[in-house]
């Protein structure tokens, strides 16, 4: 099939390369021989890189032999069966090209535009056959990015959509189909995220750097909001922004972008934008502060609202909305999943606050969001939001286990005794850990307490019946289950939701990660009973708190959560109501990593703590080498070279 690609710039030459790799005869057109020569050189360079990685099915010269270049647009278009327009975002220029293509291309040819902002319906106005016109929006770089956004204009036929979809699959791409609205789907969501960032900075809620660090650390974005704007070009973003605003898209004005563009500060390409770079065109990641608590739901809220609105209007399907966010924006999950995790009530609260502070009506929560909240469907925490969540529970005598893949919660369930550890609880903890280690859906195990306490320690009432020998045996059993946690092949998180004292604190210290509520308190008060810690406190506490460890053992001092954080006894302190969300975020992050590397990484670290550097280094080297035999390692390397998100299987 003859494919005509009009425009050989950043996107055009990549699109031409894709079609040639798929076996098509490709004609590429631009305004000068010099531009075309550069495009062909870049195509060859890209093909050679793909060949080096083993991603090219034939030799470079064979692919290049299918590409012809010409400054004669009519010659390029004549007889083409598929035409891709990839010129600058100029509506009249695009219309001229499509009129010429309709006249010169083969009868029944499909005509598509790679526009990222201009409506397909407007581009096809005045054509004799607008039903043969669609949007085929590739993402940069086209050869590597996995998604194509197919845009259905008002006149686009089902047959045209099907042809573009089939061709997208032939090119090795995933695709989504959206109706023709300004910005289509992916760019509308990106603009909503950008407007949220601008709002937070303008209103003094956060700095540019804090918005970026929060979006990456807490939300898992591949790049920060403003860093991405710099990377793609502030002028490009401003152009898309202006095009959709002109067509009725209401958004909070991002004046800083316009100001920077007017000063010639276009981001990485000019050496300066929101950040400064070593030289024009040279990207380096800036040093960023820690994430700013309490702003992540503001970053997401306008985008969630936009997705809900587009789905309700039939612009995009639920499935395609999630796929567009993941494959088009590179996010770890779609906006609806994000919303369910943070809570739909928090999303609505953020929207209402943004509306109150700006007076802008588009921040009004979408009716579909209001309906879900009125029905008590707030997301994962209530079992249903945009999606339904099946919480599979198993109830023991003193604990219960709630599976919410990728995380499983072991809940200490003796609230009337402040979840004090007794012999039954120790045995049931051990049994639950064994079960969850074997469950392939579970990637992280979290431990928390039912009610107001995490765990107030060992049940003192049971002490009264212990002989010295039995007391030693009980201590050994505590050690067994706590060492099981330490050497389990899955990360275990202590979600410290209240007091964690004595054996309860020892349980928390045996876990790999400790996230504490602001109201939590912890300590080893055994000395007040004439005892010492019996579940590992005498060696784990000094390791974590260093010189303060002995002091805490012999004084029995209780620490507030913030003090524990400063001593290194906990890894993070969060608002009480955010505790489960924080654990879930951690689980989501870990679940995106290769399971075998996570397991062996944990084993190497924990074994290294228990032995000398010679033994631990040899053990580390052995595990490092072992991972080279896994399919996950090969997938990780391929994904890195192909600039895509890896799909790890745990093999």
Distance separating alpha carbons of residues 504 and 507, to the nearest angstrom: 5
Residue 506 known to be catalytic: yes
CA nearest neighbour of 94 among 136, 125, 128, 70: 125
**Same domain membership, residue 411 and residue 308:** no
What pLDDT sits at residue 383? Answer: 81
Please list the ranges in the chain whose pLDDT falls under 50.
Answer: none
Reading the block at residue 452, the tokens are: 């107001």
Domain boundary among 542, 557, 580: 580
Q: Is residue 473 part of a domain?
A: yes
What pLDDT sits at residue 222? Answer: 87
Tell me if 573 sits within 8 A of 565, measured CB to CB: yes
| Radius of gyration of the chain measured on its C-alpha atoms | 29
What pLDDT sits at residue 464? Answer: 76
Q: Is residue 650 part of a domain?
A: no
Q: Is residue 649 part of a domain?
A: no
CA nearest neighbour of 111 among 87, 78, 136: 136
DSSP state string for 89-143: S-HHHHHHHHHHHHHHSPTT-EEEE--SSS-HHHHTTT-S-GGGEEEEEE-SSTT
User: Which distant-in-sequence residues (6+ apart) come within 8 Å of 577 by Cβ?
Assistant: none
Instruction: Kindly provide the b/e burial profile for residues 181-206, where b requires at least 16 CB atoms within 10 angstroms of the residue's own CB.
Output: bbbbbbbbbbbbbbbbbbbbbeeebb
**Same domain membership, residue 129 and residue 108:** yes
Distance separating alpha carbons of residues 260 and 256, to the nearest angstrom: 6
Tell me if 23 sits within 8 A of 82, measured CB to CB: no
Distance separating alpha carbons of residues 169 and 146, to the nearest angstrom: 10
User: Which distant-in-sequence residues (6+ apart) come within 8 Å of 52 by Cβ?
Assistant: none
Q: What is the dihedral of CA 579, 583, 586, 591, to 10 degrees?
A: -160
Tell me if 512 sits within 8 A of 602, measured CB to CB: yes
Q: Name the one residue in this structure whose structure tokens are 């289950």.
A: 481
Q: What is the CATH classification number for the domain harbouring 563?
A: 3.90.226.10
For residue 572, list its beta bridge partners.
515
Instruction: Kindly provide the b/e burial profile for residues 316-341, where b requires at least 16 CB atoms within 10 angstroms of the residue's own CB.
Output: beeebbbbbbbbbbbbbbbbbbbbbb
* Residue 614 burial (C-beta neighbours within 10 Å; 0-12, 13-18, 19+): exposed
Q: Is residue 228 part of a domain?
A: yes
Q: What angle do CA 225, 226, 228 make, to 5 degrees?
A: 70
Orientation of helix 33-52 relative to helix 12-21, angle to 10°: 50
**Same domain membership, residue 63 and residue 134:** yes
Q: Is residue 105 part of a domain?
A: yes
**Same domain membership, residue 447 and residue 569:** yes
Distance separating alpha carbons of residues 628 and 634, to the nearest angstrom: 8
- Of 526, 580, 582, 620, the catalytic one is 526
Cα 614 from chain centre: 38
Range of the domain at 610: 593-641
The beta strand positions in 508-608, using DSSP E, are: 513-517, 521-523, 558-560, 572-574
First-to-last alpha carbon distance for the chain, in angstroms, is 41
Residue 374 parent element (H or E): helix 367-374
**Same domain membership, residue 371 and residue 400:** no
Tell me if 39 sits within 8 A of 18, measured CB to CB: no
Q: Is residue 493 part of a domain?
A: yes
Q: What is the dihedral of CA 198, 204, 205, 208, to 10 degrees?
A: 50
**Same domain membership, residue 406 and residue 346:** no
Q: What is the CATH classification number for the domain harbouring 612?
A: 1.10.12
Q: What is the CATH classification number for the domain harbouring 175?
A: 3.40.50.720
Residue 526 known to be catalytic: yes
Q: Is residue 465 part of a domain?
A: yes
- Centre a 10 Å sphere on the Cβ of residue 568 and count the other Cβ atoms it contains: 13
Tell me if 452 sits within 8 A of 498, measured CB to CB: yes
**Same domain membership, residue 568 and residue 610:** no
Q: Is residue 585 part of a domain?
A: no
User: Which distant-in-sequence residues (6+ apart) come within 8 Å of 144 by Cβ?
Assistant: 642, 643, 644
Distance separating alpha carbons of residues 392 and 381, to the nearest angstrom: 14
- The region that residue 294 occupies, defined by phi over 0 for left and psi between -120 and 50 for alpha, beta otherwise, is left
| 499: helix, strand or coil | strand
What pLDDT sits at residue 417? Answer: 86
Q: How many domains are contained in the chain?
A: 4
**Same domain membership, residue 215 and residue 155:** no
**Same domain membership, residue 623 and residue 483:** no
Q: What is the CATH classification number for the domain harbouring 206?
A: 1.10.1040.50
Tell me if 332 sits within 8 A of 588, measured CB to CB: yes
CA nearest neighbour of 181 among 132, 244, 136: 244
**Same domain membership, residue 403 and residue 341:** no
* Residue 576 burial (C-beta neighbours within 10 Å; 0-12, 13-18, 19+): middle
For residue 449, list its beta bridge partners.
412
- Of 85, 195, 404, 506, the catalytic one is 506
pTM reported for the whole predicted model: 0.70
What pLDDT sits at residue 539? Answer: 92
Domain boundary among 133, 160, 179: 179
Distance separating alpha carbons of residues 281 and 20, to the nearest angstrom: 29
What pLDDT sits at residue 381? Answer: 79
Domain boundary among 179, 196, 227: 179
**Same domain membership, residue 418 and residue 364:** no
**Same domain membership, residue 192 and residue 170:** no
Distance separating alpha carbons of residues 410 and 413, to the nearest angstrom: 9
C-alpha distances (whole Å) from 539 to each of 479, 489, 513, 603 are 12, 22, 17, 19
């Amino acid at each position: 099939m003859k494919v005509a690609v009009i425009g050989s710039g950043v996107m055009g030459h990549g699109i031409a390369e894709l079609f040639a790799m798929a076996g098509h005869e490709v004609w590429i057109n631009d305004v000068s021989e010099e531009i075309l020569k550069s495009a062909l050189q870049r195509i060859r360079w890209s093909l050679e890189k793909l060949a080096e990685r083993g991603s090219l099915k034939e030799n470079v010269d064979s692919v290049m032999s299918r590409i012809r270049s010409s400054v004669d647009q009519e010659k390029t278009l004549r007889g083409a069966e598929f035409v891709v327009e990839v010129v600058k975002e100029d509506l009249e220029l695009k219309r001229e090209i499509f009129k010429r293509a309709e006249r010169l291309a083969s009868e029944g040819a499909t005509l598509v535009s790679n526009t990222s902002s201009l409506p397909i319906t407007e581009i096809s106005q005045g054509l004799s056959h607008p039903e043969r016109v669609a949007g085929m929006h590739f993402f940069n770089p086209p050869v590597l990015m996995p998604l194509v956004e197919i845009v259905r204009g008002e006149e686009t036929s089902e047959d045209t959509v099907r042809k573009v979809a089939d061709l997208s699959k032939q090119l090795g791409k995933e695709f989504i189909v959206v109706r023709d609205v300004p910005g289509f789907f992916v760019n509308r969501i990106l603009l909503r995220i950008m407007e949220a960032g601008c709002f937070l900075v303008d209103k003094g809620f956060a700095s540019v750097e804090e918005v970026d660090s929060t979006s990456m650390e807490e939300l898992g974005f591949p790049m920060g909001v403003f860093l991405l704007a710099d990377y793609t070009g502030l002028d490009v973003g401003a152009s898309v922004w202006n095009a959709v605003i002109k067509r009725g898209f209401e958004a909070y004005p991002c004046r800083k972008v316009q100001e920077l563009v007017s000063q010639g500060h276009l981001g990485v390409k000019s050496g300066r934008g929101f950040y400064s770079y070593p030289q024009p065109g040279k990207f380096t990641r800036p040093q960023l502060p820690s994430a700013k608590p309490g702003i992540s739901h503001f970053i997401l809220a306008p985008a969630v609202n936009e997705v809900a609105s587009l789905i309700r209007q039939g612009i995009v399907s639920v499935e395609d909305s999630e796929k567009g966010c993941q494959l088009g924006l590179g996010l770890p999950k779609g906006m609806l999943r994000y919303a369910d995790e943070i809570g739909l009530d928090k999303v609505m609260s953020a929207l209402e606050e943004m509306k109150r502070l700006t007076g802008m009506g588009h921040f009004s929560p979408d009716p579909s969001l209001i309906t879900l909240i009125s029905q008590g469907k707030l997301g994962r925490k209530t079992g249903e939001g945009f999606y339904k969540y099946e919480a599979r529970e198993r109830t023991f005598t003193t604990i219960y286990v709630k599976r919410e893949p990728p995380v499983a919660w072991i809940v200490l369930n003796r609230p009337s005794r402040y979840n004090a550890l007794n012999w039954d609880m120790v045995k049931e903890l051990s049994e639950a850990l064994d079960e969850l280690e074997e469950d392939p859906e579970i990637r992280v195990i979290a431990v928390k307490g039912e009610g107001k306490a995490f765990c107030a320690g060992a049940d003192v009432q049971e002490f009264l019946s212990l002989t010295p020998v039995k007391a030693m045996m009980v201590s050994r059993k505590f050690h067994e289950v706590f060492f099981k946690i330490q050497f389990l092949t899955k990360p275990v998180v202590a979600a410290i939701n209240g007091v964690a004292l004595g054996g309860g604190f020892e349980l928390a210290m045996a876990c790999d990660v400790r996230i504490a509520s602001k109201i939590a308190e912890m300590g080893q008060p055994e000395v007040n009973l004439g005892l010492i810690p019996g579940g590992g406190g005498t060696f784990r506490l000094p390791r974590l708190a260093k010189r303060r460890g002995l002091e805490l053992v012999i004084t029995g001092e209780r620490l507030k959560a913030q003090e524990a954080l400063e001593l290194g006894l906990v890894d993070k302190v969060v608002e009480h109501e955010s505790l489960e969300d924080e654990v879930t975020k951690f689980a989501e992050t870990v679940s995106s990593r290769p399971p075998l590397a996570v397991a062996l990484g944990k084993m190497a670290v924990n074994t290294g703590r228990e032995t000398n550097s010679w033994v631990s280094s040899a053990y580390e080297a052995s595990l490092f080498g072992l991972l080279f035999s896994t399919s996950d390692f090969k997938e990780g390397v391929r994904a890195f070279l192909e600039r895509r998100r890896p799909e790890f299987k745990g093999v």
